[in-house]
């Protein structure tokens, strides 16, 4: 089965986004953005840490700190994205392995929509639960997102933390959090060897360690994510249509949304149906852990 390299994922997005001449905003680029200012891309960055902190991190890891691009906006949970970017509007936005960490996905999509021009695009690279350490976890469904939106949740959930400690896995010999279809038939091993101690510590502190833990708050595969976007549209919660959905069979999938004043859910549901006919997820043995 063919799978996309990181370079091919970026090239795929670049067929929709003109980063050379259109103004863009990349969310959570960390030390390795998809679109680089240093390569002439018209992009600004939102990141949880500033340029200096990221360069120091690179030095600590024995990597070249000069690879870190200049960060424009440091994340502030007390501000909306529009407030953080001081009212600036963008032709496109992009994120890679970001939305799964967002406690309130609907709120996030609404905020991104606010900073985009009409017909602006939001390109996302999103972990595919069937090809990453979420493979034994349940897909997150609509009710969880509606609840998080009503609560205006801005902290991680206890459930997400516990499920990561208990069910986070990877194929034996795979050192990173995601893998290709060819690696999926290996025996699974637990990411956390002593999950019982992790959860007991959580119980002792009343769940506080879960609130800011860097774990996936949501788990998706391509068809389910498209159906969720269709549901969000039908509920009048977002002003986006889905124009592209592409499994990569290598850790994640690509989704591109287009801002629309009158979105139709069929844009997403049609893509969900199309993908469902060809998308082949692997199966895993829960008894491995």
Which residue do the tokens 């990453």 mark? 132
CA distance 121 to 91: 7
pLDDT in tens, 66-97: 889 999 999 998 999 999 999 999 999 999 99
* Model confidence band, residue 176 (pLDDT cutoffs 50, 70, 90): confident
Q: Record the tokens describing residue 156, joined without a space.
A: 């991680």
Mean pLDDT of the 118-129 span? 98
pLDDT at 78: 93
DSSP state of 132: B
Its pTM surpasses 0.85: yes
For the chain, the residue count is 289
CA distance 273 to 236: 22
Of 92, 34, 16, whose CA–CA distance to 244 is shortest? Answer: 16
Q: Record the tokens describing residue 115, joined without a space.
A: 């900073």
CA distance 246 to 75: 29
């Amino acid at each position: 089965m063919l799978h996309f390299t990181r370079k091919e994922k970026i090239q795929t997005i670049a067929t929709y986004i003109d980063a050379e001449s259109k103004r863009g905003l990349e969310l959570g680029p960390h030390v390795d953005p998809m679109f680089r200012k240093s390569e002439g891309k018209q992009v600004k960055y939102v990141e949880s840490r500033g340029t200096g902190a990221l360069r120091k991190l690179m030095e600590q890891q024995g990597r070249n700190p000069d690879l870190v691009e200049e960060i424009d906006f440091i994340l502030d949970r007390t501000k909306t994205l529009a407030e953080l970017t001081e009212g600036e509007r963008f032709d496109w936005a992009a994120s890679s392995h970001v939305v799964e960490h967002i406690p309130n996905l609907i709120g996030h999509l609404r905020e991104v929509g606010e900073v985009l021009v009409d017909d602006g695009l939001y390109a996302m690279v999103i972990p595919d639960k069937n090809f990453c350490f979420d493979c034994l976890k349940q897909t997150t469904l609509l009710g969880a997102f509606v609840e998080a939106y009503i609560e205006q949740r801005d902290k991680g959930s206890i459930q997400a933390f516990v499920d990561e400690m208990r069910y986070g896995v990877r194929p034996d010999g795979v050192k990173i959090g995601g893998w290709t279809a060819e690696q999926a038939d290996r025996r699974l091993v637990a990411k956390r060897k002593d999950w019982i101690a992790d959860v007991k510590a959580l119980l002792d502190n009343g769940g506080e360690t879960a609130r800011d833990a860097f774990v996936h708050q949501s788990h998706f595969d391509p068809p389910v994510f498209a159906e969720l976007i269709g549901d969000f549209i039908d509920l009048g919660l977002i002003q986006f249509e889905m124009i592209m959905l592409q499994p990569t069979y290598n850790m994640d999938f690509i989704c591109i949304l287009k801002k629309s004043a009158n979105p139709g859910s069929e844009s997403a549901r049609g893509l969900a149906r199309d993908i469902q006919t060809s998308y082949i997820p692997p199966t895993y043995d829960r008894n491995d852990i």
